[in-house]
Amino acid sequence: MNSLVKKHVLENGLTILTKEIHHASLISHWVWYRVGSRNEVAGKTGVSHWVEHMQFKGTQKYPINVLDAAISKVGGFWNAMTYLDWTTYYETLPADKASIAIDLEADRMVNSVFDQKETELERTVIISEREGNENEPMFRLSEATRSAAFDQHPYRQQVIGEMQDLRSISRDDLYNHYQQHYTPENAVLAIAGDFNTEDLIKELTQKYADIPVRGKPPHNKITPEITISKSDQITVEGPGDTVYVQISYRAPKATDDDFFVLMVLDSLLTGPASLSMFGGGSISNKTSRLYKKLVENNLSVNISGGLQATIDPFLYDILAIISPEKDVQLIIKTITEEIDRIQNNSVSQVEINRAIKQAKALFAYGSESITNQAFWMGYSSMFADHTWFDTYIDNLEKITKGRILSAAQKYLDPNHRIIGIYRPLQKENK
């Protein structure tokens, strides 16, 4: 699917990935940095996300009020994201305006100001964001289950960081993090759209080649956690009217062959889920086993699954949304029994073929737009390389019934999982 991708590496280590797509006069331009919450230490959690915010506070060339105008006035859109393993910045805009995005990102790779006043203003914004998240059931539940599922690995922390760290991180902490990780050798530039590759590489080389190598950024010694070492059930209480049940298992890293088996297993259990962060269609999960068992029998309002592509083993989550009067333990029992049926060979090849077909279709839907094409090139480079995207469909098609059974037995072990239950606080009678 991605065979037209061209790779070019500058002498300073910047990796450039390009893909010409000429059906619309647009380009999507992404700069990815190999830094996220995985690269943070105790006392500095949330620093990667905060640096992302500061990248919108301007440089000498593009002051704070000029950045957004430079993109919006030509009809483009831009944004950024920070996650476990990476931070990325992107612009999608008319092809003849590509130079705006190129110049802007090359400039803020090295020249962001990190003004002290803006740092303090942003502290207030991020603390407010954290406080808002704490009112969200899924954030509270995810934070609790993730903390229980990891002993030491930094994946146990939320990307936004701990509140006490957000209160203490300094401007110099942010700037040092930026200096260490926002380097050409730690970055991947991915562009898809309507351009001539040779001309584009010349322009990119002119903008980026003189950015100096600063050496590989410091990386803490991180030991992957291969299994969840226990079986535990935790309860979280907070605002709301709905009960959530989340069952978390250890998932393989994205470069493990079993990752694709888990994608199909998830499709079997809860319906296909997309890794793309820009949508691109959807497929009903009404043929999935847990939908039939839980939703059709009026035990839960909804059922879904979640698997993330990561450098180290992360989590596979099954999430049920239920009414407060429903029996939570019955939900857990039903999910456990359905997994047990698969582990004991109660799954047909017809089911597996349908699950593979649905996973392939959702992947295709999430790969159609120019923005998604550029996204996938850079995204897959953060935990593997761009060819991971190339071989995605082939890897799904290789999955057999035997591999499904083996993966279900290996990863969905009831003795190695975290069950998180979110219950709304009882409202006092007035």
Determine the pLDDT at residue 13: 95
Q: Is the pLDDT of residue 248 over 60?
A: yes
Rounded mean pLDDT, 23-48: 96
Rounded mean pLDDT, 372-379: 94
Determine the pLDDT at residue 279: 59
Determine the pLDDT at residue 93: 96
Tell whether 163 and 235 lie within a shared domain: no
Last residue of a domain, one of 160, 193, 208: 208
| Residue 401 belongs to a domain | yes
| Residue 213 belongs to a domain | no
Determine the pLDDT at residue 296: 96
pLDDT tens digits, residue range 280-325? 556 778 889 999 999 999 999 999 998 999 999 999 999 999 999 9
| Residue 224 belongs to a domain | no
pLDDT tens digits, residue range 157-211? 999 999 999 999 999 999 999 999 999 999 999 999 999 999 999 999 999 999 9
| Residue 225 belongs to a domain | no
pLDDT tens digits, residue range 337-348? 999 999 999 899
| Residue 218 belongs to a domain | no
Determine the pLDDT at residue 1: 46
Tell whether 19 and 142 lie within a shared domain: yes
| Residue 430 belongs to a domain | no
Q: How confident is the model at residue 362 (pLDDT cuts 50, 70, 90)?
A: confident
Tell whether 146 and 253 lie within a shared domain: no
Tell whether 180 and 241 lie within a shared domain: no
Q: How confident is the model at residue 427 (pLDDT cuts 50, 70, 90)?
A: low
If one counts the domains in the chain, the total is 2
Q: Is the pLDDT of residue 238 over 80?
A: yes
Determine the pLDDT at residue 281: 59
Q: How confident is the model at residue 273 (pLDDT cuts 50, 70, 90)?
A: confident
Least confident piece of the model among 72-86, 278-292, 386-400: 278-292
Q: How confident is the model at residue 391 (pLDDT cuts 50, 70, 90)?
A: very high
Q: Is the pLDDT of residue 429 over 50?
A: no
| Residue 395 belongs to a domain | yes
Q: How confident is the model at residue 147 (pLDDT cuts 50, 70, 90)?
A: very high
Tell whether 97 and 174 lie within a shared domain: yes
Tell whether 283 and 355 lie within a shared domain: yes
Tell whether 25 and 159 lie within a shared domain: yes
Rounded mean pLDDT, 53-57: 96
Tell whether 161 and 243 lie within a shared domain: no
| Residue 88 belongs to a domain | yes
Tell whether 312 and 392 lie within a shared domain: yes
Tell whether 202 and 283 lie within a shared domain: no
Determine the pLDDT at residue 366: 76
Residue 53 sits in a domain whose CATH number is: 3.30.830.10
Determine the pLDDT at residue 275: 82
Q: Residue 68 sits in which domain range?
A: 6-208
Tell whether 114 and 150 lie within a shared domain: yes
> 3-state SS of the chain?
CCCCCEEEECCCCCEEEEEECCCCCEEEEEEEECCCHHHCCCCCCCHHHHHHHHCCCEECCCEHHHHHHHHHCCCCEEEEEECCCCEEEEEEEEHHHHHHHHHHHHHHCCCECCCHHHHHHHHHHHHHHHHHHCCCHHHHHHHHHHHHHCCCCHHHCCCCCCHHHHHHCCHHHHHHHHHHHCCHHHEEEEEEECCCHHHHHHHHHHHHCCCCCCCCCCCCCCCCCCCCCCEEEEEEEECCCCEEEEEEEECCCCCCCHHHHHHHHHHHHHCCCCCCCCCCCCCCCCCCHHHHHHHCCCCCCEEEEEECCCCCCCEEEEEEEECCCCCHHHHHHHHHHHHHHHHCCCCCHHHHHHHHHHHHHHHHHCCCCHHHHHHHHHHHHHHCCCHHHHCHHHHHHCCCHHHHHHHHHHHCCCCCEEEEEEEECCCCCC
Question: What's this model's pTM, rounded to 2 decimal places?
Answer: 0.95
pLDDT tens digits, residue range 153-166? 999 999 999 999 99
Tell whether 196 and 240 lie within a shared domain: no
Determine the pLDDT at residue 2: 47
